[in-house]
């Protein structure tokens, strides 16, 4: 049983390392900011997820079972889309990609409406919102 | 030393090399990244890879004491990514 656990741990480690190296190569090789955004998400979810799973299986193999790593796993799975969303908003703000089409007369794209010099633009319409 | 233990040692070495290569490639993107978004993304990837290195160290030594370290690294990495993005987006972190 000990040997079987070691083999499963090694398999999880190899899968995780494959995703880590693929994500790193994609981060360097892609040629657009928004395209580069999607490569490291594989590192954050599957790559590190497989490493944490290997850590859990290895602890079971050693006889001192710990499932604490599930906490890190859940935290990473929750926060990876949030940070990717923020980086995408930075790309839109810096015009590093094709800007989305103009919104229909509302303030939905607050990122693109940000002033360039740090001062808010003069209001062209009176603010009627409460 | 049995076959499975040897396989685990080889897998740990391969994973270590992959994580180090990931760190180096992320650092290349951090240096040459044309926009600020790329640099934030490279820093986030480096934090994630450092987390993987800590987890791998725990596997290699067969101990569980690196759990808090990796959890702290994950939390600080997320907070720093969001703080950098907020600073670029709004010119301020806490308004």
Domain that holds residue B17: 3-90
pLDDT of residue A129: 47
Q: Does A67 touch chain B (CB under 8 A)?
A: no
Taking only the tens place, the pLDDT of each residue in A64-105 is 888 888 999 999 999 999 999 999 989 888 877 777 666 566
ipTM at complex level: 0.89
Nearest to B87 by CA among A72, A62, A24, A93: A93
- With a cut of 60, say whether residue B13 has pLDDT above it: yes
Please report whether residue B44 resides in a domain: yes
User: CB-CB: which of A3, A17, A93 is closest to B18?
Assistant: A17
* Residue B22 lies inside a defined structural domain of this protein: yes
| Separation of alpha carbons B72 and A72, rounded Å | 9
Lowest mean pLDDT among A16-20, A107-111, B73-77: A107-111
From the list A66, A24, A71, A78, the residue with the least C-alpha distance to A47 is A24
Residue A20, pLDDT > 80, answer yes
B4 vs A38: CA distance, rounded Å? 35
Does B61 reside within a domain? yes
The pTM of the full predicted model, rounded to 2 decimals, is 0.82
Write down the mean pLDDT value for chain A: 81
Does the residue B95 lie in any domain?
no
Kindly list the domain boundaries of chain A, sorted by start residue.
2-80
Q: What is the mean pLDDT of residues B45-67?
A: 91
Asked whether residue B62 is domain-assigned, the answer is: yes
Q: What pLDDT band is residue B95 in, cutting at 50, 70 and 90?
A: confident
Q: Give the model's pLDDT for residue A130.
A: 45
Q: Which of residues 49-78 of B touch A (CB under 8 A)?
A: 49, 51-52, 55-56, 58-59, 62, 64, 67, 70-71, 74-75, 78
Q: Which of B29, B89, B4 is nearest to A88 (CA)?
A: B89
Above 60 in pLDDT, residue B8?
yes
Q: Tell whether B70 is covered by a domain.
A: yes
**Phi then psi dihedrals of residue B71, to 5 deg:** -65, -40
CA atoms within 13 A on the CB side of A123: 7
Structural tokens at position A43: 């590192």
Q: Do B29 and A4 touch (CB under 8 A)?
A: no
């Amino acid at each position: 049983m000990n040997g079987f656990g070691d083999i499963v741990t090694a398999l999880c480690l190899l899968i995780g390392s494959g995703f880590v190296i693929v994500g790193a190569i994609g981060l360097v090789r892609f040629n657009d900011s928004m395209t580069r955004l999607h490569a490291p998400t594989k590192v954050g979810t599957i790559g590190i997820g497989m490493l944490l799973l290997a850590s859990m299986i290895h602890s079971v193999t050693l006889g001192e079972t710990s499932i604490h790593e599930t906490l890190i796993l859940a935290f990473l799975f929750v926060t990876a889309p949030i940070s990717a969303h923020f980086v995408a908003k930075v790309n839109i703000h810096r015009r590093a990609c094709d800007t989305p089409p103009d919104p229909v007369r509302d303030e939905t794209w607050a990122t693109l409406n940000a002033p360039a010099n740090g001062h808010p633009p003069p209001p062209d319409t009176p603010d009627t919102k409460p | 030393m049995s076959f499975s233990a040897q396989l685990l040692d080889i897998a740990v070495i391969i994973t270590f090399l992959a994580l180090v290569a990931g760190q180096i490639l992320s650092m290349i993107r951090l240096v040459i990244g044309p926009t600020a978004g790329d640099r934030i993304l490279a820093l986030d990837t480096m934090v994630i890879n450092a987390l993987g290195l800590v987890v791998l160290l725990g596997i290699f030594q067969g101990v569980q004491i690196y759990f808090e370290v990796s959890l702290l690294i994950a939390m600080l990495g997320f907070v720093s990514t969001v703080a950098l993005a907020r600073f670029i987006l709004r010119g301020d972190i806490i308004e």
